[in-house]
Amino acid sequence: MVKLKIGMCQMMTVKTSKMDNIKKAKEIMEKAILQGAEIVVLPEMFNCPYNIKHFREYSEQFPNGDTIRMLSNVARDNSVYVVGGSIPELDKDRVYNTCFVFDDKGNMIGKHRKAHLFDVDIKGKVKFKESQVLSHGDKATIIDTKWGKIGVEICYDIRFPELMRTMAMNGAKIVFVPASFNMTTGPAHWEILFKSRALDNQIYIVGVSPARNTSYSYVSYGNSLIVNPWGEITHRLDEKENVLVGEIDLDYIDEVRKSLPLLKHLRPEVYNNVE
């Protein structure tokens, strides 16, 4: 059996001091590592408040940013893989919502730029427009690791099944989703989306959220989770800041796919034939 321990780091990320947030992220990752995590995962926009007015101010350019160096150092010094949540990335005057991924030598082995920007206006509840500051990513992200291929999405990306299917069909066995659903979308859709994407593609999906802070303008739902290829939630946090290390069995993917061969039964010739 191929087992893997994943550390979900559900941290509070709304301090206006960027260095305080970086320090907190390092500390919470180290807690997960002490519990045996082989891959540690941070939330979306963990180094800054989740507010478009802060994104450019907190942005970093690879490889020289304080946050980026910290992620690489934690990976190298502890011989773990790091899925670095997401941070604002600056590239040629454009800002992206980007997840940097590092191997156990501290090398950056991939990054995902959020492809679908959160531009919503739910009457009387949530209004947010990331595109006022952020630019779209333009790729599905698949990364080779010593356990096989993994994929990365960021938050709103999970609502678009085409992206997850692309990664699954190209060999990703686990997809990591740093995400900050709010108190409107979280209770309504968080669990449904993660379970649906996992069972549709018969893969593991790991969703890591910031902890909930009800005193801030954007209140995250929390409830970081791991969903298995059968669509079952195997590990879940509540809304508070915490660490959870969950073990998964990658051989279970093959077992599920043999018993219910959904991906073998796909018929793209039908889906492209519209009358």
From 9, 48, 99, 155, active-site residue: 155
Please enumerate in sequence order all residues whose Cβ is within 8 A of that of 93, keeping only pairs 6 or more positions apart, or say none: none
The parent domain of residue 229 ranges over: 3-271
CATH number of the domain encompassing residue 216:
3.60.110.10
For the segment 96-151, what is each residue's pLDDT rounded down to a tens digit? Answer: 999 999 999 999 999 999 999 998 888 888 888 999 999 999 999 999 999 999 99
CA 262 vs CA 108, 228, 267: distances in Å:
34, 15, 10
Q: Which amino acid is at 13?
A: T
Whether 165 has a pLDDT exceeding 90, the answer reads yes
From 18, 24, 38, 44, active-site residue: 44
Tell me how crowded residue 194 is: count the other CB atoms within 10 A of its CB.
24
For the segment 14-72, what is each residue's pLDDT rounded down to a tens digit? Answer: 667 899 999 999 999 999 999 999 999 999 999 998 888 899 999 999 999 999 999 99
Alpha carbons 169 and 204: distance in angstroms, whole number? 14
Residue carrying structure tokens 């997960």: 32
Domain count, the chain: 1
* Sign of CA pseudo-dihedral 135, 205, 41, 172: negative
From 114, 130, 153, 173, active-site residue: 114
Nearest Cα to Cα of residue 206 among 259, 154, 241, 170: 154
Token pair in block for residue 58: 């907190």
114 included as an active-site residue: yes
Please enumerate in sequence order all residues whose Cβ is within 8 A of that of 269, keeping only pairs 6 or more positions apart, or say none: none
Conformation bin of residue 45: beta by default, left when phi > 0, alpha when psi is -120 to 50:
left
